[in-house]
Amino acid sequence: MKSKLLIALMLSSAAWAASAAAETTVKVGVVAPLTGPQAHLGKDIENGARLAVDAINASKPSLGGQPVQFSLMVEDDQADPKTATVVAQKLVDEGAKGVIGHLNSGASIPASRIYADNAIPQVSPASTAVAYTHQGFKTTFRVMANDSQQGKALGQYAVKLGKRVAVVDDRTAYGQGLIDQVVKAVKEAGGEVVGREYTTDKSTDFTAIMTSIKAKKPDVVVFGGMDPQAAPMVRQMRTLGMKTAFLGGDGMQSAEFIKLAGSAAEGAIGSSPGLPLEKMPGGAGFTQRFGEKFGKVQIYAPFAHDAAVVLIQAMLKAGSAEPAQYLPELVKTQIDGVIGPIAFDDKGDLKDGPVTLYQVKDGKWQAVETIGGPAAN
């Protein structure tokens, strides 16, 4: 029994000594799916953060008078909730002072508990589920408009097109969360929700629900879900002879949707959080700097870039990389990022997160209107 304790003591003190060795660099974690179907988006996040960190390191930063360098610890959460907690634990153990990530809300939420338990701030560049910042943790932040802001924009826009709104969601956390917000916004804007139908994220046949929706004679149909469902859905709507407007969130605002839906995509409207890249205040410069090093921006690079900037600026301002010291500075963040002005509300959500609406015209998504954010003023 004694020897066991001894071994344990030795082992744990060895681990402690190892962590104390590296001091002049501050480690910041970056987590996103780097393998699997979303690998390209995860890489986008990693590269965006790297661009920011490289630029800051080149400016010879100092913390409380000491010169300091920032290094990224990059981890792969495979877009899987369980793996997310495993890599979150890894980042915590290996001394990350802050975390940029995760991509998927389903990964960000379980991981946030581990960061919060260890008092490590987490800034997500991409997770939009409302629940992520509403768990009562003081360490969760995001630099992208959440589903509630997006749902509100979609709902308001839908009522502009017509008062009778029918909604469909795909029973995923994303689809259901978005549509709940749409329903609320539609009612607030004086519209009427005439039908609410449901499908799944694996369905291809929507004729039954579309037939019941058709019978309720809506002016607009809003779908919360992804492009593989949105595309056949809009096709089946058209073959049922419905000429109703079709709206959806960022899950269907993709090139894939146009490819899959073909000519039926024409006129469909999709929203997406944030400004279009070319309309971001720092968009042009960012596209160029990013292009030189990493190539084409997918979606999340500018957001990951700003997440890294926000995190490191707070450390520099506080003169410390200790979470307890710089967290108050992070809360008070007030900067002009690539994506626009960044400040957090009391939950850690982006204040006035803008949402842009796009419409398919001649087989391409074209920005129609931006709701919220600085462009609205």
Partner 1 sequence: MDVLLQQILNGLILGSLYAMVALGYTMVYGILELINFAHGEIVMLGAMVAVSVLALLTALGVPVPLALLAALTAAVAVCVATGVLVERVAYRPLRNAPRLAPLITAIGVSIVLQNLAMIFWGRQYLSFPPVLDIQIYEFAGATITNVQILIVAVAAVTMGGLLLLVQRTRLGRAMRATAQNREVAGLMGVDVNRVIAATFAVGSALAAVAGLLIAAYYGIAHYNMGFILGLKAFSAAVLGGIGNIPGALLGGLLLGVIESLGAGYIGDLTGGFLGSHYQDIFAFFILILVLIFRPSGLLGERVADRA
Partner 2 sequence: MMKPGCKGRRALVIFICVNLRSFADNSFLRMTNFLSDRIYRDPRIARIAFVALGALLLVLPFLVEAGLGRTWVRILDFAMLYVMLALGLNIVVGYAGLLDLGYVAFYAVGAYFYAILASPQFGLHLPWWALLPTGAGIACLFGVMLGAPTLRLRGDYLAIVTLGFGEIIRIFLNNLNAPVNVTNGPQGINMIDPVTLGGAALTRPMDLFGLTISGAHAHYYLFLGLTLLVVFIAFRLQDSRIGRAWAAIREDEVAAEAMGINTRNVKLLAFAMGATFGGLGGGLFAAFQGFVSPESFTLMESIMILCMVVLGGMGHIPGVILGALLVTMLPELLRYIGPLQQELIGHVVVDPSDLRMLLFGIGLVVVMLFRPQGLWPSPVRARELKPDNPDQVHQEQEALYDAER
Q: Which of 57, 73, 131, 256 binds partner 2 (CB under 8 A)?
A: 131
82 binds, among partner 1, partner 2, none (CB under 5 to 8 A by kind): partner 2
Does residue 209 touch partner 1 according to CB under 8 A?
Answer: yes
The residue length of the chain stands at 377
Contacting range for partner 1; rule: CB under 8 A; set: 52-60, 75-83, 125-133, 227-235 = 227-235
Give yes or no for residue 243 binding partner 1 (CB under 8 A). no
Which CB atom, from 138 or from 235, has the smaller least distance to partner 1? 235
Residue 200 makes contact with partner 1 by CB under 8 A? yes
Q: Which residues touch 1 (CB under 8 Å, ≥6 apart)? A: none
Structure tokens at 342: 């960044």
How many residues bind partner 1 (CB under 8 A)? The answer is 33
Longest dimension (CA), the chain: 80
- Rank residues 261 and 299 by Cβ distance to partner 1 and give the closer one: 261
CA 59 to chain centre: 28
Helix H or strand E encompassing 84: helix 81-93
Q: Which is nearer to partner 2, 90 or 279 (CB)?
A: 90
Lookup result for tokens 């990350």: 96
Q: Does 19 bind partner 2 (CB under 8 A)?
A: no
Least distance from partner 2 to the Cβ atom of residue 43, Å: 12
Is 90 a binding residue for partner 2 by CB under 8 A? The answer is: yes
Nearest to 149 by CA among 178, 172, 107: 178
**Euclidean distance between CA atoms 377 and 371, whole angstroms:** 10
259-265: long-range contacts, CB 8 A cutoff, minimum separation 24: 260/227, 260/228, 260/231, 260/232, 261/230, 261/231, 261/232, 261/234, 261/235, 262/235, 264/231, 264/234, 264/235, 264/237, 264/238, 265/231, 265/234, 265/360, 265/363
Which position has the token pair 């960061």? 115
Any contact of residue 109 with partner 2 (CB under 8 A)? yes
Q: Which residues bind partner 1 (CB under 8 A)?
A: 36-37, 171, 196-200, 202-205, 207-209, 211-212, 214-215, 227-228, 231-232, 235, 239-241, 256, 259-263
Which positions touch partner 2 (CB under 8 A)? 4-5, 7-9, 11-12, 14-15, 35-36, 39, 76, 78, 81-83, 85-87, 89-90, 93-94, 106, 109-110, 113, 117-118, 129, 131, 135-136, 171-173, 175-177, 198
